[in-house]
Amino acid sequence: MHTGQVLAECRDRRTQDDLVAFMERVASAYPGKQVHVVWDNLNTHCAQAVWQAFNARHDERFHFHFTPLHASWVNQIELWFARYTRRVLRHASHTSIAHLRERTEQFIRAHNQAARPFKWSFRGYPLQTGAS
């Protein structure tokens, strides 16, 4: 999210093989660069041996960071997903999967034309001391 650009794919399924294929696309899009990947705890993200082998093929330049359980708000892509939900999914009537895919790809193109890095901050909750 350093540029604010979104690299995405619409696929029929969400399998480990699909994710590895997408990550190969990420590797090609950023050749020779250090890439930090922030992931939640989805089952396809957690196959450590798969990602170690993937990283070995790409000169150890991928750094995988996992968000804590029940803390999706620390993952900046969730801000993008919220915007996508409001503008593409909510109150929508898609005539087919192809129509949904087309609307999604249009949204991504429009987003990337004006992309800026997300500015995110969280100062924490007030300290709870238990004293009254």
pLDDT tens-digit readout, 63-99: 988 888 777 666 777 888 889 999 999 988 889 999 9
Evaluate whether residue 75 is within a structural domain: yes
Q: What is the pLDDT of residue 37?
A: 87
- What pLDDT is attached to residue 73? 67
Q: How many domains does the chain have?
A: 1
pLDDT the model gives residue 122: 64
Task: Note whether residue 131 is domain-resident.
Answer: no
User: Considering the domain boundaries, does residue 5 fall inside one?
Assistant: no
In a domain, 127, yes or no: no
- Tell me the mean pLDDT in the region 93-106: 92
Tell whether 122 is covered by a domain. Answer: no
CA 129 to centroid of chain Cα atoms: 36
The span from the CA of 92 to the CA of 95, in Å, is: 10
Residue 13's pLDDT is 86
- Name the residue range of residue 103's domain: 16-113
Instruction: Tell me whether residue 100 is in a domain.
Output: yes
Domain membership flag for residue 87: yes
